[in-house]
Structure 1
Amino acid sequence: MRLLLHAALASAKVETLHPPGQAAAFFEAPAGPEPSVEKLSPSSLAKARGSLVQLRHRGVVFGLFLPTAQREGEASPVLVFLHGRGESGGFAVANAQSLPWLLSRGHNASFTASFPFIVVAPQCPQECASENGWRSDVLRGVAELVHDWARAYSCREGSAVTCRKGQLASAGRR
């Protein structure tokens, strides 16, 4: 799993990786051609830890958060965050309470300090808003994305959890 992610990051153009402190750049569309999944370097991966990185894979634009708490060789659970329809069309429309917004601003939600979750936050195209939800073809692309990237990076087998913004908000009130 780790090798595929390393391969993808190695070919990713520098402009697709937005270091902490450049959060606004994260919410712009990634520039350049789609990064190849075969070329991601360990140094690019190390720079991405603890911050939300915007990437594209098989046409799906997504944010990837790699926990700082993860130990080498340790498998981590995956949290797939599906935003609401009002945030469709681009990361620029993410609201201030969404998980990607908080992670991109360095407000690492409390679970990232305690639990080594890998967060995958796909961006649904603008047409999701007018269709009142995630289209099945987009969800299939998200499933492929999670499958490919989970294999590439030490993800705990069968640990992917999908949630939407409302679920995170209710979980925080318990």
Structure 2
Amino acid sequence: MTVRSILGTVAGAAMLLTLSVGVAHAGTLRWTGEVDDTAIIRLDGRDLRANGNMRGIRNARFDVDGALPNRPVRVRLAKEGGRGDVEIIEQPSSRNNYTAVVRIRDSQAGSSRYGFVLQWDNGRDDRRDDRNRNNRRDRGDDRRDNRWDDDWNRGRRP
């Protein structure tokens, strides 16, 4: 085997590894808008619903890349702007028809421009999912995972 063929094989393997890692990422929601007081944003599949109080939400824009699956997945939140709190208040589960729910709270007078990104992965993490009964690596109880994630997103680290 020549050096050139070895390098070609290594490059091909690296490209396949990169492609397989990219497949794990299933979706992203990017949201921006002006919020005065409180807003609730719900993502169900590709459908987005936003509710605000009397002062409400203005100039909202969003982009959904990939549908939120109709099964339990873990969504992650990254705040990209705004002076108040942005937090996940519900992870997708069978109890909420696999809907991710984000709350924005702006406690100061007047509105502020907010932005956030939600991301989720395509599959389940077999290392931490005891709902997969054939998985012998993890026999732990994951029933409290949603509460732990909410605590994490509110800044209360366990």
TM interval, shorter chain, is under 0.3
Richer in helix (by share): 1
Q: TM (normalized to structure 1)? A: 0.24
Q: Larger C-alpha radius of gyration, 1 or 2?
A: 2
Q: Which has the higher strand share?
A: 2
> More relative contact order in 1 or in 2 (CA 8 Å, sep 6+)?
1
